[in-house]
Structure 1
Amino acid sequence: MRVPSEFLQQDAVELAQQLIGKTLVRKFEDGTELRKIITETEAYCGEEDLACHASKGRTARTEVMYHQGGKVYVYLIYGIHWMLNFVCGIENKPQAVLIRGINKISGPGRVGKALKIDKSFYGEDTHSSQRIWIEDTYPQKKHMIKRDRRIGIDYAGEVWANKLWRFYI
């Protein structure tokens, strides 16, 4: 069963923790489905978060982050890796959660590749999508979820680089 729409309308830090243990479902064109448990996430929290793309303001790239939670935000890095994020929170308060790991696949570039994510997913609504969605599964016990610094964001400065907004099991 898909998570209810309200689930993705919460704060990114809270959602990043609650996504751990949920099932990410990707349905391919041939009808096959890949179902993977989310094992690692990172939270990005609005214009004030200097590691968040929205810190540069509302642009063509970040537009979907300003929508109500439940949309897919994808972007390309190094010209080869599509990063999968889920927009969360309320409209005009840009936040998103990066999916860094799914069972047996670690690293957001590898996740994007395994799920065959591309630009066409930008803005996809997870509540009605026939290609990608999140299902409610048994949540991980809070004590099993670890916290750490987000990866690869030293450019954001010490305050933002040291936020413990990466979650994993």
Structure 2
Amino acid sequence: MAEGYSSRAQRVSLALLLSSVLLVVSACGTSKEAEMSPDEARNALVSTIEASAAQLDVAGWSRSHAPEVGDCGARAGMRANYSFTYGAPAPEGHHEADARAVADYWRSLGMDVRLVESPAYVVYGSGGPVEGLTFSTGPGNYFIAGESLCASGDADELRKQDNG
């Protein structure tokens, strides 16, 4: 009888443990990404890129295009994100310092950052308010490009709205 009780108690304990794990895993799925609207995801991307550019003493930043809608869901059209690029003429002699300034700023936002020094200084960041960003120092121009977090939304409908 004690053996049957022990076995039953182990099964109940295992079931409770698995339930707890599933609860934690499902809670992880309710990240800020699930809470964001497509507009919030787009705005977070654009403002993070523009704030990154503002860390540098560089004039002439401009948008190469409006933020573009992407489809990041497993089922087409059910999850959307945005991509965006910002550029400026690269100043001479500041590439390393500028790359380090951007890397430090992104770290302050809670992003994971990697700095590549050759053949040009390039900073890669992920996490924080966006899915990922890249800052490139050359050749010729600085570019900050990125992708927003995914948000619930129909990418096809968002494209229609963006195109009038």
TM-based fold match above 0.5: no
Query: TM-score, normalised on structure 2?
Result: 0.28
Find the structure with the greater CA-based Rg.
2
TM-score normalized by structure 1?
0.28
Which structure has more helix as a fraction of its residues? 2
